[in-house]
Amino acid sequence: MMKNLQKVLIIDDDAGILFLHEIIVREAGLHPKPRKFSNAEEALELLKAEDKPGNSALIFLDINMPIMDGWEFLEELSSTIRESDIKVIMVTSSLDKRDRERSKRFKMVIDFWEKPMDEAQVKSLIKKLEN
């Protein structure tokens, strides 16, 4: 597990993707117990409840989801989280360049990946975050 990375959250409404991404996160050595959420609102409530100095989280976030989509999640997260260090990677099946550009408006978004992510991407991410 990476030092200083307390939580990894995987937020996606597709159960198969949640399962696959959990395995990839663990096997790449990013985190032994990533938290999975099919509902972005539930993940947001957890992050709000644990918003304090020293807390950190890396979130793999889908865009197109029912109830609360990835954009709504980012808007709410940006306006409510004050203390925690949160980084987000958008992981989506969207090939729309406007989505990639829109993601750049959120300072917590550090990358934009096509679904499904793979172990090589996660290992590269680990190196990037360690530097």
- CA–CA gap between residue 112 and residue 92 (Å, rounded): 8
22-50 pLDDT, tens digit per residue, is: 999 999 999 999 999 999 999 999 999 99
Q: Assess contact for 86 and 56: CB atoms under 8 A.
A: yes
65-93 pLDDT, tens digit per residue, is: 999 999 999 999 999 999 999 999 999 99
